[in-house]
A and B are shown apart, each in its own frame.
Chain A
Amino acid sequence: QYSGVLVSFYLLTMSLRITFFPKLQLKPVLTVSDKILDLPLEKQDLFRVSELFTVKDLFDARVHLGHKKGCRHRLMEPYLYDSSLDYDIIDLDKTAEHLRRALNVTAQTAYGGGIILFISRRRQFCHLVENTAEECGEYAHTRYWQGGLFTNAHVQYGPGVRLPDLVVFLSTLNNVFQQHVAVRDAGKMNIPTVGVVDSNCNPSLLTYPVPGNDDSPVAVELYCRLFKTTINRAKDKRKQMDNKHDILLKSIIK
């Protein structure tokens, strides 16, 4: 079940290692920092992500409410449970499984010191998303998306810029109900994406789609809270491991 997570995270750590250790090592020398980075891969659910929410919490936050039958995207049909009076209902068991996977990926990226970018083009939630990003020490983009922010990064920002290692979409659509440009651009730049997809969105380009409601304030507040908690937990765990490693080194030197 976590094989997809393992492969993606291994690729992620490999890319991180390339940026930190420019000399390509033919035989991987296992240093202590490598052991710290591999710890989430060895233990299942190291960050106890499955304890953060239950299916009942998702139901209370109205995550299961989708749009009307006319707005339905063909590729979202596997994730829908039923439709009542033409309103689509999203299958919360599938949502829970996808959400757990997505939170695991976020946690492991944050644990490895990766950059996480939150994107949402909904004006209602712009302030909330920016606050969430600020509180967990990550980055947000809830404004007008300038053309080449990912694909033309070295011209837009300056040479030597580091792009995000994970992009989290709280809503994959922009103000004109078309797919956000960042979904395609992140795919072009090999950046893994996590996204909340409603019944009118296209889940195909996202790495870890999470079928769920992106219109209700309750639902979006729930997602923000969950992502913030996971990222903070992951960062605390990493700090803990680094401190343990430092104490161990000091005791060895003595």
Chain B
Amino acid sequence: MLMNDSSAAVSPQICGTPALRRKNLGAAGPEKFTPEFIQKQVEEFEIGKRHLANMMGEDPENFTQEDIDRSIAYLFPSGLFEKRARPLMKVRLSADLCFPPCEAVQWGPDGRPFHFLFYTGKQYYYSLMHDLYGRVLKVEKHQDQLRAKGLFPTEPKQIALGTSRWLTKEELEARLVEPISSQDYEYFIQLMERLLAMPCCSLEQQFVMSHRQQLEAQSMHQVVPPLQKDDAGVDFSTAEGRRKTSRGSVVVRDCGAGRLTVNGQDYLHYFPVLQDREQLMFPLQFCGLLGRFDLDCSVSGGGRSSQAGALRLAISRALLSFLPQSEGEAMRQAGLLTPDPRVRERKKPGQEGARRKFTWKKR
């Protein structure tokens, strides 16, 4: 019956996903991230930091985290795109990396667990359900008291949910720091909906809203370029746009002439095709401001169509600073402010093109 604490294994587990954290701790696998283990890792980190400072020829006393990052990037250059996969020398004690808190020991020195639902296996999930059910009972009791006094509200005050949604299963797992099954998640949502269905649920408004995620409107993310004034007192604004491999930038001046210059040339010379010129004019035509502005564009890269698309996006963005927000929202809904994500798909080996396969011969 007597079990010694297992001695720490060789390599610490750096990345943790819910699948990895699932209980199979009897196997000689990941060790416990006890406070003693974390302390030992912190000490080793400090010693390593001093060695690194000596290697780089810098002062070990004033070696900050940025210096460490710089030195590691110099000593171990990595071309990997995923920043989190590059070599890292950092001790972060938060829940996102390194030492996830769920691996901490759940009982005291006398062996008694800290949480009263420890023996269920899923203590945090069940304590959330217990808490939630307690609140449902409290609201029911409040309703009964009101009914007894005769003050039961005929038009119950509903909780203003607004543009929010329930937390997803992944978000709930991250909050509870333990894996839950889809059944458990469904029961949680059902019980929450039951709480919301009660007339006097506004008592528990704060609790309910803490388990909901606000959906921000897309238009709130739009960055409007600032409206500047040049020496002659004319308003102008600058914006950039991209399409495929083209990069374009435009300066929109509130002159009132309607002139368009692209890379120093007149737009008729630069874009001989009508379709490209239509693309440039579309944002102005949509807002009804065709003759008002002077456009000074510069564009490079790509072909004629993609250059036109890049300039169109740049013009739409620059126009935002001249227009009220409702007009800007109309432009967004028309799709003028959405960058086109389509790029050329690469050719794959064993195929003639990106999608086209070689001709199939029966024999």
Stretch from B35-43, B77-85, B109-117, B339-347 at the A interface: B109-117
- Interface residues of B: mostly helix, strand, loop or mixed? loop
How many residue pairs between the two chains, A and B, have CB atoms under 8 Å in the bound complex?
Answer: 78
With CB as the reference atom, state the residue of chain A lying closest to B183: A144
Tell whether B118 is near chain A: CB-to-CB under 8 Å.
yes
Tell whether A160 is near chain B: CB-to-CB under 8 Å.
yes
**Which of A22, A138, A140, A156 has a CB less than 8 Å from the CB of B2?**
A22
Q: How far is the CA of A156 from the CA of B24 in the complex (A)?
A: 7
Tell whether A141 is near chain B: CB-to-CB under 8 Å.
yes
**Which of B1, B107, B110, B137 has a CB less than 8 Å from the CB of A15?**
B1
Q: How far is the CA of A90 from the CA of B69 in the complex (A)?
A: 75
Tell whether B32 is near chain A: CB-to-CB under 8 Å.
yes
Contact B121 A18 (CB under 8 A): no
Stretch from A2-10, A127-135, A220-228, A230-238 at the B interface: A127-135
Given contacts A19-B111, A143-B126, A149-B121, contact A160 B116 (CB under 8 A): no
The residues of B that contact A22 with a CB separation of less than 8 Å are: 2
Interface size class of A (residues with CB under 8 A): 20 to 34
With CB as the reference atom, state the residue of chain A lying closest to B137: A127
Number of interface residues, chain B, beta carbon within 8 A: 31
Given contacts A18-B1, A127-B137, contact A155 B23 (CB under 8 A): yes
**Which of A113, A137, A160 has a CB less than 8 Å from the CB of B3?**
A160
Contact B117 A139 (CB under 8 A): yes
**Closest approach, in angstroms, between the C-beta of A254 and any C-beta of chain B?**
29
The residues of A that contact B111 with a CB separation of less than 8 Å are: 19, 115, 161-162
The residues of A that contact B116 with a CB separation of less than 8 Å are: 130, 133-134, 137-140
The residues of B that contact A159 with a CB separation of less than 8 Å are: 3, 5-6, 25-26
With CB as the reference atom, state the residue of chain B lying closest to A161: B107
Contact A115 B23 (CB under 8 A): no
Contact A115 B106 (CB under 8 A): no
Tell whether A157 is near chain B: CB-to-CB under 8 Å.
yes
Tell whether B358 is near chain A: CB-to-CB under 8 Å.
no
Tell whether B218 is near chain A: CB-to-CB under 8 Å.
no
The residues of A that contact B32 with a CB separation of less than 8 Å are: 158
Contact A130 B117 (CB under 8 A): yes
The residues of B that contact A69 with a CB separation of less than 8 Å are: none
Contact B130 A130 (CB under 8 A): yes
Task: With a 10 A CB-CB cut-off, give which of B106, B111, B134 has the most chain A CB atoms.
Answer: B111
| Cβ contacts A to B, 9 pairs, < 8 Å | A18-B2, A127-B134, A130-B130, A140-B117, A141-B119, A143-B120, A154-B3, A155-B24, A158-B105
Interface residues of B (CB under 8 A from A): 1-6, 23-27, 32, 105-107, 110-113, 116-122, 126, 130, 133-134, 137
